[in-house]
Each structure stands twice: as structure tokens, then as C-alpha cells.
């Protein structure tokens, strides 16, 4: 598979493979970003796998998208990826692929490209997931589970489905993880699956020829002996790659230390202070439930938990049902529940604090360097929805708590799921006490 060109400034180019046309008025940032894909499409025209050859430009874009921190126009990129997918279908159809093979290959490519974009700061804010490639072509919001179901079915017929298996294998090699991203020991399981798939493909395809060219020694002998052995662009690319590797390593190290720091802060204990006994105060009356009654249907369905106390009410939302794994975008089907929560909060005056929590499994990505960053963005996402529905943003405040204050030990998948949550606390004014002696008058 051809390597993707560097994203350097380029001049507008003429149409190339896939009928991709550039115009002089194309914004420079957009032209730089997509120019390499069009050039790569012209490279993969030969080889034993027509699906991989047809998808070469899209495959080259997967790692480029995943590690791009900023993009000038994500909507433009999504539209061009959609056009490239349609051109992939035409190339694959011309190469003799069946409609079933094209549909399965398109599903895998859409899923891998969507995941790569969703893990970036510019693609994980919600707009991409709401208008993803998988939604556009297959009317599905997440393919991280179905991708591997499809792969398992294809591996039952490796000889008949070899081209598709190789295409999905390239998606895995280029970083697609799907459901394994959130599973316990998921990386090791995914490595085992990749090795198994590689052995299956090699068993059908056979070993490659030992020599790629029959006359490779003659070509080397005719080269200019005074020519520098390594191109300058390769040295520059290697330097950039090494610098990027150092940056990523330092970023991950800093994120790991920050998680430990947040955990230590959470374990700090405030020194106890012994106070002199005060005179008995009048017992505050226990207020009736503020929110539990209104949210009784949601409580019965297990969507929320509600704790009403004297001075506050706490609504607990399970994070696994509220967000997709590794995302801070509220799932659409949970919007009605948040609307009911906002309606309940609107009935009672008081400040609202939205706190996000995670489990203790470290999260390190370009978008979320640490668990605390993930918890902050999840709390902000819920707070924004509540503030919009309450009509008073000054009432709502968002906080990230990371892995602090777990409600259960992080020693099992079930307990970690309980700790992944968002708590909405209503700080209500306490009830007024009756004046001393009130009611004793004759």
C-alpha cells in the first residue's frame, strides 16, 4: 500500500484517479489536507487485491486523520471522504467486486474513518458523530461491534472472502480498535485477533516471492556512486516523526502523572475539629421529596437514581448509557431523560452542580489526555443541555472529578461501570424554622 504524502502546501492540481477535481478557489487549508489522498489513489492500480487497490486513498487517510490535532474545516473533509467512498465503489465495481463485497468493504472503511475522526479534538465534539460516514451510508451511529461480527463471519470462508479480509486487516493495522478500546485487556485481545487474521490470510495467499525484482542488483550497480544515499525529504520526515514521538511520549507521561495527582487530591482528608457542644436547636423538619416524585418513571426504568436530603437533592446518571465509550457527546436517546431532569430542576429554586466521574482505567488520547479531562467535558456537555432547557445558565456549574469519590471499588467491570457517572446536585435552600414558642400562645 502506498504511503500517504506529507501534508505540505501544494498548488491546485489537475483531476486524478477517482475524478477528484481541484479549483483555483479551493481554500489552501482544505487543499493541503486532501491533496495527498487523490495522488495516492493513482498509485494503487495494480496488485492481487482489487478492493485494497480501490480503497488505497481512504486507507492512507486513517492514520493521518487520527493524529491531526487541528483541521480547518471538518465538514468539508467529511464531504470529500463521502465522495471518495463513492469513487471507491466505482473503482471496486470496475475491478469485478460484487455488490455484497463492496457494501461490506464500505462499512469497514466508514467505521474506521469515523473512529479516527472521533478520537480527535475537532471530530469528537459531537458534530462528526451526528453526521458520520456510517450514518450517511448505512444509517448506523456506531460500527465498533458489527465490524468484528462481520470479520468473524468472513473468517469462516477465508478463501472466498480473502480480498475483504485483507481490507479489514489493513483497517486494524492502521489503528482501528472498535469495541476492544473499552474492554478489559482489550489491546491484548485485539493483538491476538490481528495475528490470527494475518495467519489466516497468509495461509490462503501463501508466501511472497523472495525477490521483488529479478534485476535489482543491476539497478543498484548503475546508480551514481556520488549520490547521497538517503533523500533529504526522508531525513526531514524522520526528524518530524521523532519529534512527534517525543511529544506524544511526554504528553502521555504528563497525563499519567496528572491522574495520580488527582487521585491523591481525592484521598486528602480534612482534619477534624472538635467543637463545643451547642445548645439544642430546633429539629429541622424533613422536607418532602423534591425530585424523586417527579422523576419516579425514570427511576423505575433505571435511567436515574435520586437522593433527596435536607439541603440538597442528587440525581445520578449512569455514564455507560449517557455517552459512548471514550466520548463526551450525549447519546440522542438520552435527550428526553435530560429534558425530564431539567423540568424537575425548574420546579425547585437553587444552584445546580453537574459533576462528572470516571473509573480508574487511565484514558490517554489526543482529545482526552487524562480521566479528569474526560470527566470535565462530560460534565460540561450535560450542564449545557440543562442550562439551555432551564433558561438560566447562571444556575448551572460543571465540575470534573476524574476517578475520585468512587461509589464502588474499581475491581470489576460492573463496579467500574457504576463509577462512570454524572451527578447533578440541586443545592436547595433549607426550610425555615418556626420561631421559638410559636404555637404556645393561648
Distance CA 303, CA 166 (A): 42
CA angle 68, 244, 198 (to 5 degrees): 75
CATH number for the segment(s) 296-427: 3.30.1330.60
- Is residue 37 within 8 Å of residue 113, measured between CB atoms? no
Which pLDDT score is estimated for 1?
42
The per-residue DSSP string of 31-42 comes to HHHHHHHHHHHT
- DSSP strands (E only) in 282-402: 304-308, 312-318, 351-357, 396-400
Q: How crowded is residue 322: how many other Cβ atoms within 10 Å of its Cβ?
A: 23
Distance CA 356, CA 362 (A): 15
Distance CA 103, CA 86 (A): 11
Beta strand 351-357 with 312-318: parallel, antiparallel or unpaired?
Answer: unpaired
Query: What's the Cα-to-Cα distance from 36 to each of 17, 133, 237, 262, 378, rounded to whole Å?
Result: 12, 20, 15, 42, 35
CATH class of the 28-206 domain in this structure:
mainly alpha
Which pLDDT score is estimated for 212?
56
Which pLDDT score is estimated for 279?
56
Which pLDDT score is estimated for 319?
75
Distance CA 88, CA 137 (A): 13
Which pLDDT score is estimated for 158?
92
- Is residue 287 within 8 Å of residue 313, measured between CB atoms? no
Which pLDDT score is estimated for 118?
87
Domain with CATH 1.25.40.590 in the chain: 28-206
Statement: the pTM of the whole predicted model exceeds 0.75: no
Domain with CATH 3.30.1330.60 in the chain: 296-427
Query: Which residue in this structure is represented by grid cell 495516492?
Result: 40
What are the two backbone dihedrals, phi and then psi, of residue 160, each rounded to the nearest 5 degrees? -75, -30
Which pLDDT score is estimated for 210?
52
pLDDT tens, N- to C-terminus, the chain (442 residues) = 433 333 233 223 233 333 333 333 444 444 444 444 344 334 444 457 999 999 999 999 999 998 888 888 888 999 999 999 999 999 999 999 999 999 999 999 999 999 999 888 888 766 787 788 998 999 888 788 899 999 999 999 999 999 999 999 999 999 999 899 888 888 999 999 999 999 999 999 886 555 556 565 655 555 555 555 678 888 888 888 888 777 767 666 665 666 666 556 555 555 554 545 555 555 555 556 678 888 999 999 989 999 988 889 999 998 777 888 888 899 999 999 999 999 999 999 999 999 999 998 888 777 888 888 899 999 999 999 999 999 989 999 999 998 888 999 999 999 998 999 999 999 976 655 544 554 444 4
Which pLDDT score is estimated for 213?
60
CA angle 418, 423, 425 (to 5 degrees): 150
Which pLDDT score is estimated for 395?
94
Which pLDDT score is estimated for 367?
80
Give the torsion sign (CA, 408, 412, 414, 420).
positive
CA angle 51, 164, 102 (to 5 degrees): 60
Amino acid at each position: 500500500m502506498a504511503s500517504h504524502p506529507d501534508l505540505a502546501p501544494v498548488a491546485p492540481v489537475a483531476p486524478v484517479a477517482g475524478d477528484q477535481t481541484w479549483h483555483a478557489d479551493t481554500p489552501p487549508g482544505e487543499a493541503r489536507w486532501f491533496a495527498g489522498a487523490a495522488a495516492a489513489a493513482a498509485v494503487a492500480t495494480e496488485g492481487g487485491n482489487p478492493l485494497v487497490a480501490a480503497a488505497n486513498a481512504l486507507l492512507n487517510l486513517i492514520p493521518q486523520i487520527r493524529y491531526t490535532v487541528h483541521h480547518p474545516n471538518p465538514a468539508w473533509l467529511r464531504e470529500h471522504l463521502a465522495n471518495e467512498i463513492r469513487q471507491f465503489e466505482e473503482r471496486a465495481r470496475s475491478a469485478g467486486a460484487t455488490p455484497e463485497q463492496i457494501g461490506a468493504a464500505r462499512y469497514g472503511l466508514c467505521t474506521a474513518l469515523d473512529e479516527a475522526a472521533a478520537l480527535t479534538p475537532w471530530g469528537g465534539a459531537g458534530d462528526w458523530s451526528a453526521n458520520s460516514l456510517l450514518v450517511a451510508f448505512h444509517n448506523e451511529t456506531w460500527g465498533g461491534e458489527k465490524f468484528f461480527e462481520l470479520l468473524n463471519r468472513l473468517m469462516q470462508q477465508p478463501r472466498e472472502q480473502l480480498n475483504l479480509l485483507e481490507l479489514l486487516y489493513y483497517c486494524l493495522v492502521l489503528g482501528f480498535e472498535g469495541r476492544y478500546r473499552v474492554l478489559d485487556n482489550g489491546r491484548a485481545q485485539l493483538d491476538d485477533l490481528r495475528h490470527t487474521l494475518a495467519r489466516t490470510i497468509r495461509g490462503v495467499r501463501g508466501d511472497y516471492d523472495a525477490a521483488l525484482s529479478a534485476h535489482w542488483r543491476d539497478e543498484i550497480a548503475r546508480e551514481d556512486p556520488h549520490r547521497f544515499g538517503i533523500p533529504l525529504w526522508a531525513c526531514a520526515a524522520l526528524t518530524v516523526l521523532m519529534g512527534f514521538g517525543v511529544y506524544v511520549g511526554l504528553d502521555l507521561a504528563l497525563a499519567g502523572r496528572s491522574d495520580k495527582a488527582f487521585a491523591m487530591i481525592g484521598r486528602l482528608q480534612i482534619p477534624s475539629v472538635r467543637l463545643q457542644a451547642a445548645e439544642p436547636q430546633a429539629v429541622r423538619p424533613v422536607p418532602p421529596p423534591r425530585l424523586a416524585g417527579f422523576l419516579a418513571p425514570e427511576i423505575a426504568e433505571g435511567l436515574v437514581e435520586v437522593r433527596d436530603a435536607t439541603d440538597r437533592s442528587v440525581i445520578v446518571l449512569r455514564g455507560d448509557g449517557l455517552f459512548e465509550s471514550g466520548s463526551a457527546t450525549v447519546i440522542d436517546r438520552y435527550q428526553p431523560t435530560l429534558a425530564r431532569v431539567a423540568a424537575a430542576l425548574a420546579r425547585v429554586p437553587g444552584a445546580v452542580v453537574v459533576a462528572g466521574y470516571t473509573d480508574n482505567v487511565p484514558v490517554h488520547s489526543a482529545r482526552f489526555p487524562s480521566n479528569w479531562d474526560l470527566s470535565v467535558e462530560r460534565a460540561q456537555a450535560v450542564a449545557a443541555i440543562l442550562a439551555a432547557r432551564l433558561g438560566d445558565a447562571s444556575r448551572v456549574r460543571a465540575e470534573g472529578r476524574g476517578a475520585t469519590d468512587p461509589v464502588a471499588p474499581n475491581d470489576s467491570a460492573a463496579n467500574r461501570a457504576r463509577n462512570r457517572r454524572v451527578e447533578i446536585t440541586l443545592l436547595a435552600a433549607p426550610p425555615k424554622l418556626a420561631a421559638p414558642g410559636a404555637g404556645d400562645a393561648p
